[in-house]
Amino acid sequence: MEKVKAMILLLSCISLLSVRVNGIGANWGTQTSHPLPPDTVVQMLKENGFSKVKLFDAEDGTMNALKKSGFEVMVGLPNDMLRTLATSVKAAENWVSKNVSAYVNDGVNIRYVAVGNEPFLETYNGSFLQTTFPALQNVQGALIKAGLSNQVKVTIPLNADVYQSSTGKPSDGDFRTDIHDLMVAIVKFLSDNSAAFTVNIYPFISLYSDSNFPVEYAFFDGNASPVVDGSNTYTNMFDANLDTLIWALKKNGYGNLPVIVGEIGWPTDGDMNANTQYAQRFNQGFMTHISTGRGTPMRPGPIDAYLFSLIDEDEKSIQPGNFERHWGIFTYDGLPKYQLNLGIGNSSRGLVKARGVQYLDKKWCVLRPNIALSDSRLADTISYACSNADCTSLGYKTSCGNLDTRGNISYAFDNYFQKNDQDDVACDFSGLATTTNMDPSTGTCRFGIMIVVDDASSFKLPQFGLLVFIFVLHLLLTAL
């Protein structure tokens, strides 16, 4: 009998998981030196059961791969275009024509335009305060003119720092004082146009920037000492943060404005709190949390969210921190970093890796064994390698933090070598380096082999294929 009960419970949990999460989205960023082919990414998104993607621009390759894919798409308009679109109705119309209408006509299911990306971040020093709202208005005007305003909605993905609570209680939430009136005007505009508020929420950043932040409060296990706010009790930061926004909206007369969680996730490297254990715990906790469909105390019901991020990006700015290049639930080459049950489609079996990824040779670049660590040329070559490649996996409590000094140097050399497509010239370093076919990876530290980039792979025939091709061509020509 107990077994039957357990079985029924299990089954109902499974059906809850598959029914209530009516589609989790993924952020698909492309600030990477070696992007996976867009078709490979779209296939991977499908096989993992995603139904929505959020982009940071409208690159042609990405958009073409999304044609007739069925995915709901949020296209992005980068911050550096805000000024142009704010000052020129014509520019906004061109943008919508080229980057929305044309693709919609080709079968891309565009549902949102993200105008800017976290433009009011305090670290931007107000650079986009004057231009974001006018750009939003011009894009909306252009969507109306293009006859798309019913199916395509504007929004602005904002960082959670646009609102705050002086006491930490959600009910004391309101918009940041320096942008309060601007925020209310934007919220009114979104509401008037049946659009949604998009917010990015990052418990990891709270932990990263405040050593006193209670670790358990970042997660969803209910172990944190609760924040009590009237009749509501919070044991995770996500709920409290989202409700701070709901209170801010409510206080200004827009308590029912739909909210999209534009980015949520946890990085796996580059900081002592960025590792696969924490990332899995956070993302799985989040998926399980939203799969209940209960929402938050102030906003009961399903939560519309996009995980950040799908794939690591080795060219993201590390100004906010070394973790920036490690947000992916997949590595640069489309391998799952940890098990994650998204509760949708086939993913109850865990994440599915990208198919048909093409790698360069099994070759690495390392410090020559006979070079003494006292060699005076080392410091400059390491800093050259690290400033041109990616050394964010080296450092205290990172995935390669346990390498010895020689391993450290080899990691830097190899990363530069791989990033430069294993070009022999990129493994010289004044004669300090040499190539090897022995994988130097150890434990958590991966010396990854670089992937073949799309342009090259689609035109490069394998040696044998090329010979056959030339031979057939020869036969054809001689037959004429």
Residues designated as active site: 118, 263
Does residue 23 touch ligand NAG according to CB under 6 A? no
Query: SS3 of 246, please?
Result: helix
What's the distance, Cα to Cα, between the start and end of the chain in Å?
80
The window from 29-37, 94-102, 301-309, 357-365 that contacts ligand NAG (CB under 6 A) reads 94-102
Q: How far apart are CA 146 and CA 105, in angstroms?
A: 11
Task: Give whichever of 124 and 469 is closer to ligand NAG, judged by the CB atom.
Answer: 124
- The reply to whether 471 sits near ligand NAG by the rule CB under 6 A is no
CA 372 to chain CA centroid, Å, is: 41
CB of 312 to ligand NAG, least distance (A): 19
For residue 161, state whether it binds ligand NAG (rule: CB under 6 A): no
- How many Å is the maximal CA-CA distance in the chain? 88
Whether omega for the bond prior to residue 171 falls within 30 degrees of 0, making it cis, is no
Q: Is 198:264 a contact under the CB 8 Å cutoff?
A: no
Q: How far is the CB of 383 from ligand NAG (least distance, A)?
A: 9
Return the number of the residue (79 or 244) whose C-beta is nearest ligand NAG: 79
Nearest residue to 257 (alpha-carbon basis) of 265, 266, 248? 248
Q: Is 395 left (phi over 0), alpha (psi -120 to 50) or beta?
A: left
Asked if residue 402 binds ligand NAG (CB under 6 A), the reply is no
Pick out residues in 413-432 that bind ligand NAG (CB under 6 A). Answer: none
Q: Which of 17, 21, 36, 58 binds ligand NAG (CB under 6 A)?
A: 58
263 neighbors 306 (Cβ within 8 angstroms): yes
User: Which residue's CB is nearer to ligand NAG, number 27 or number 99?
Assistant: 99
Question: Using the rule CB under 6 A, is 39 a contact of ligand NAG?
Answer: no
Q: Which is nearer to ligand NAG, 97 or 233 (CB)?
A: 97
**Cβ closer to ligand NAG: 165 or 398?**
398
- Report the alpha-carbon angle 87-92-260, nearest 5: 105
Residue 257 CA from chain centroid, whole number: 25
- Tell the smallest beta-carbon distance from residue 345 to ligand NAG (Å): 5
CB 73 within 8 A of CB 31: no
Nearest residue to the partner ligand NAG, using Cβ: 57
Nearer to ligand NAG, 124 or 471 (CB): 124
Taking the complex as a whole, the smallest distance from the CB of residue 405 to ligand NAG amounts, in Å, to 4
List the x/- string, 346-365, binding to ligand NAG by CB under 6 A: x-------------------
> Exactly one of 125, 177, 211, 277 binds ligand NAG (CB under 6 A); which one?
125
We find the least distance from the C-beta atom of residue 391 to ligand NAG, in angstroms, to be 6
Interface residue with ligand NAG, options 95, 266, 278, 308 (CB under 6 A): 95
DSSP per-residue string spanning 137-206 = HHHHHHHHHTT-TTT-EEE-EEEGGGEEESSS-GGGEEE-GGGHHHHHHHHHHHHHTT--EEEE--HHHH
- Least CB distance from residue 161 to ligand NAG, whole Å? 14
Give least dist CB 33 to ligand NAG, A.
18
Helices (H), 179-275: 180-192, 203-209, 215-218, 237-251
Q: Which stretch binds ligand NAG (CB under 6 A): 28-36, 121-129, 170-178, 221-229?
A: 121-129
Question: Two tokens at 338?
Answer: 């940890």
Q: Does 345 bind ligand NAG (CB under 6 A)?
A: yes
Distances (CA, A) of 151 to 108, 115, 117, 196: 12, 16, 21, 13
Choose, by CB under 6 A, the member of 149, 281, 395, 452 that binds ligand NAG. 395
Give which of 394, 390, 393, 416 is closest to 405, Cα–Cα: 394
Indicate the SS3 state at residue 35: coil
- The residue ranges that bind ligand NAG (CB under 6 A) are 46-47, 57-59, 94-95, 98-99, 124-125, 127, 345-346, 391, 394-395, 404-405, 408
